Amino acid sequence: MRIYLRTVSAAALCLAASTLAVSAAGPITVVGWGGSWDKAYKDGVWDKYTEQTGIPIVHEEWAGEVAKVRAQVQAGNITYDVVSTEAPGMEIGCAEGLFVPLTPEITGDPENYLPGTLHECGVASDTWATILTYNTDVFKGDAGPKSWADFWDVEKFPGKRGVYAQAQFTLENALMADGVKREDMYKVLSTPEGVDRAFAMLDKIKPYAVWYSTTPQAIQNLDSGEVVMSDQFNARITDEVMKEKKPYAIVWEAGYFYGTDYWAVVKGAPHEQDALDLLKWFSVPENQAGFSKLYAYGTGRKEAAAMIPPEWAANLPTSPEHIEYATAYDNDFWTENKEALEERFKAWQAK
Amino acid sequence: MVPVRAIPARPHRQGGLLALLVLPLVLFLVVVFLWPVARFLALSVDNSDISGNLPRTISALTDWTPEAGLPAEPVFVALVEDLAEARRAGQEGVLAQLVNQRVVGTRFLVIKTAKDAAAGKLDMRPVRESLLAKYAGWDNPALWRALWRETSAYTDYYLLDSLDLMRGEDGSITRVPEDRAVFLDVLVRTIWISALVTVLCTLLALPLAQAIVGAPPFWSRLMFALVLFPLWTSLLVRTVIWIMVLQKNGPVNATLLGLGIVGEPLNLVYTRFSLYVAMVQVLLPMMVLSIVAVMRRVPATYMRAALSLGASWLTAWRRVQLPLILPGILSGGAVVFVFALGYYITPMLVGGPTDQMVSSYIAFYTNNTLNWGLGAALSLQLLLILLLFAFLYWTASALLRRKVGG
């Protein structure tokens, strides 16, 4: 009962606060990737902004569909102010004029950004990686997989594999397992033979694959022992290991690809100016460092990276310890080919 | 068998009043259901996002054939005008996406050309030379062939695609390459899974319904409540529980291992088996409800009469009870089958990739790759199957009524 009362009074307070805030700016609708990602942004970054300025921030989640922004703009009914989008969406949205171009006045000196983290219309919200992870209770000590070839080797490492049910990430991993060097990846994938080669590799792992389409599914499969290893986004695994004490290890040295998502302001958004102010505030290194401190993804400003405690920084895909095993996703390639390859992948899966 | 008294016709005025009362509902259905559904289905043949955005180019291409090589200057002039227009209308993104669907690798080409065209950067003549010099891509014969083919406001591209067919180089209809052919399999699979689930539900529901109807009032009510209980639980919860129960270290495998029936855990989850289990469990209450409703109206004396006349229990049930409850089985079967046809969440969660049904592909194309044309074509397919089976059900129950009535 006491909990109930507390909830009610908290709700009443919120209501009162929101009524008061109507006269002030905002609220700014910020659209992120959901789950613990959103929570880290809320706790580490946006709550501070609201504290400092009194401008409330509303959180929404999506799966990065730029077509949704396009539909809102065309219908003249824009509800998103700031969105985090993957690089291909950024390219398309910016080229189409859906996003507001950002000036150095907002982003600060471009020199201060890590390569690939600043775009004409966006600043990095997070740099993430897709890595190989395995259950250290199953493969103890030094017995774990070391490479993507090991991921494919079901004789030496018996057990099912968790595999992301989409072409992007999976094709790259398959070709790495087949001995393609990361630096040659998109040269190979740009040819029909290269794509066939990747699918031929996938044929081999198919009987052992447990497909997932969301991260919670992947974690549940690892957790229940349904799979012994999986591909996954690095920060989620770090989260599980650090917060839940789960027995997972990340095999950085197997090689991994990383990508960057960007914050962008929707042109003509109801709070466009407030949103730009928000990104200006976000571009201050101390402010954006709040995210990486809570979640093992990097952000754009070089100084922000330096503010993260070194022992935690080792969990980030951009950390100097691992970066030699990393290559960036080719955004141009995936922008042009994603639809066709995802459709082929879906058809291949169904056979 | 049962004498039916003719119901006297209602006075005319009352009918008019009834129609008036139903009118809001009809309007509501038309506005929020029929109209949007029809609009969405129309996308399966709609081509206006391509042809409507390239009117000048298409009319300039009428005299052109693919054998003629790259088109001449007027076509390029028309193209630049069209793209500038599309850019100003905010349509170039949709156009680029659709062109990229037909010829992969042309998305940025269209967007960038449109941007430059609207900015007046492509006005120097001859346009053809400057365009070809500025962008790699407009010299691609496949791209021109694709544009040349999209002359009509309507297209059969998506409908053909949803049947694993396509237009070949010469415009004739051919099968798509084997590695891309998937929809016919999915269609057959969807019908098969739905039919089997319906049969399984019927077989399980019959004894259960019989037990509920035959039990003393308290037990009857209790059993009925237990059947209804899952209906009040979220579909998601009911489905996810099966993952827990059937997974490698779940209770089913633990029991089988403990009893020594199997040597190592069975692969139960993410298979067709787990899909059937989950779907039958979710849909069973519909069947039970439907059969119980009919069974309650059949007096128990009929069975007793048949038994007292010397029929074995099985014969009595088959020849007396079954025909009387058949309408319940039919309507329950129709409900279960129709529900099963549209299943999406359950196969996604507990099935493997070879167990996905049509709905999952509709969701994939509408949400994931934003290929709404194909999503609409697949929806149309599903709707047609539904109508076909609705017709079969209607015919079967009409026949049944005539047989029982006569």
**Per-residue model confidence as pLDDT tens digits over B319-339:** 999 999 999 999 999 999 999
Q: Is B190 on the interface with A (CB under 8 A)?
A: no
The amino acid sitting at B148 is W
Q: What would the mean pLDDT of B196-208 be, rounded to a whole number?
A: 96
Chain A residues with CB under 8 Å of a chain B CB are 63, 65, 67, 70, 73-74, 91-92, 95-98, 165, 199, 210-211, 213, 220, 224-226, 332, 335-340, 342-344, 346-351
| Percentage above 90 pLDDT, chain B | 60
Which pLDDT band holds residue B46 (cuts at 50, 70, 90)?
Answer: very high
Taking the CA of residue A197 and the nearest CA in chain B, the distance in Å comes to 13
Q: What is the predicted pLDDT for the residue at B152?
A: 84
Q: Take residue B165 and report the two structure tokens written for it.
A: 């067919």
Which comes out higher in pLDDT, residue B227 or A151? Answer: A151
Which pLDDT band holds residue B296 (cuts at 50, 70, 90)?
Answer: very high
Q: What is the predicted pLDDT for the residue at B177?
A: 86
Give contacts of B377 with chain A, Cβ < 8 Å: none
Q: What is the predicted pLDDT for the residue at A4?
A: 42
Give contacts of B248 with chain A, Cβ < 8 Å: 224-226
Q: Please tell me chain A's helix, strand, coil percentages from 3-state DSSP, rounded to the nearest 5.
A: 55, 20, 30
For residues A46-78, b (16+ Cβ closer than 10 Å) or e, as one string?
beebbeebebbbeeeebebebbbbbebbeeeeb
Length of chain A: 351
Assess whether pLDDT exceeds 90 at residue B77: yes
Cβ B105–A95 below 8 Å, yes or no?
A: no
CA pair distance A340, B161, nearest whole angstrom = 13
CB atoms within 10 A of CB A267: 17
β-partners of residue A264 are A83
Q: Is B11 exposed, middle or buried (0-12, 13-18, 19+ CB in 10 A)?
A: exposed
Range with the poorest average pLDDT among A344-348, B143-147, B178-182: B178-182
Assess whether pLDDT exceeds 70 at residue B192: yes
Which pLDDT band holds residue B8 (cuts at 50, 70, 90)?
Answer: low
Q: What is the predicted pLDDT for the residue at B249?
A: 86
Q: Take residue A96 and report the two structure tokens written for it.
A: 């189409």
CA pair distance B210, B299, nearest whole angstrom = 13
Phi, psi of A107 (to 5 degrees): -85, -15
Cβ A211–B248 below 8 Å, yes or no?
A: no
pLDDT, tens digit, 9 for 90 and up, residues B108-125: 899 989 989 998 888 888
Instruction: Please list the pLDDT of chain A residue by residue as tens digits (351 residues).
Output: 334 444 444 444 444 444 444 435 779 999 999 889 999 999 999 999 999 999 999 999 998 888 889 888 888 899 999 999 999 899 889 988 899 999 999 999 999 998 889 999 999 999 999 999 999 999 998 999 999 999 999 999 999 999 999 999 999 999 999 999 999 999 999 999 999 999 999 999 999 999 998 888 999 999 999 999 999 999 999 999 999 999 999 999 999 999 999 999 999 999 999 999 999 999 999 999 999 999 999 999 999 988 999 999 999 998 888 989 999 999 889 988 988 899 899 999 988
Q: What is the predicted pLDDT for the residue at A13?
A: 45
Assess whether pLDDT exceeds 90 at residue B7: no
CA pair distance A156, B272, nearest whole angstrom = 28
Give contacts of A70 with chain B, Cβ < 8 Å: 90, 93-94
CB pairs under 8 A between A and B: 92
Q: What is the predicted pLDDT for the residue at A202?
A: 97
Assess whether pLDDT exceeds 70 at residue B258: yes
Taking the CA of residue B248 and the nearest CA in chain A, the distance in Å comes to 6
CA quadruple A182, A184, A187, A193: dihedral, nearest 10: -80
Q: What is the predicted pLDDT for the residue at A65?
A: 85
pLDDT, tens digit, 9 for 90 and up, residues B18-38: 888 999 999 999 998 899 899
Q: Is B133 exposed, middle or buried (0-12, 13-18, 19+ CB in 10 A)?
A: exposed
Q: What would the mean pLDDT of B37-66 be, rounded to a whole number?
A: 91
Which of helix, strand or coil describes residue A231?
A: strand
CA pair distance B270, B266, nearest whole angstrom = 12
CA pair distance A233, A133, nearest whole angstrom = 9
Query: Contact at 8 Å (CB) between B92 and B83?
Result: yes
Q: What is the predicted pLDDT for the residue at B367?
A: 78
Cβ B370–A67 below 8 Å, yes or no?
A: yes
Q: What is the predicted pLDDT for the residue at B332?
A: 95
Question: Residue A269: which of A279, A254, A257 has the closest Cα?
Answer: A279
Cα B48 to Cα B53, B152, B171, distances in angstroms? 7, 8, 20
Query: Contact at 8 Å (CB) between A262 and A88?
Result: no
CA pair distance A300, A116, nearest whole angstrom = 8
Which of helix, strand or coil describes residue B138?
A: coil
Q: What is the predicted pLDDT for the residue at A265?
A: 97
Which comes out higher in pLDDT, residue A35 or B367? Answer: A35
Give contacts of A230 with chain B, Cβ < 8 Å: none
Cα B251 to Cα A161, A218, B56, B241, distances in angstroms? 22, 20, 67, 11
Q: Is B94 on the interface with A (CB under 8 A)?
A: yes
Helix (H) or strand (E) holding B38: helix B35-42
CA pair distance A335, A329, nearest whole angstrom = 11
Q: What is the predicted pLDDT for the residue at A8?
A: 42
Give me the residue from B93, B250, B367 closest to A96, CB to CB.
Answer: B93
DSSP A206-222: GGGEEEESSHHHHHHHH
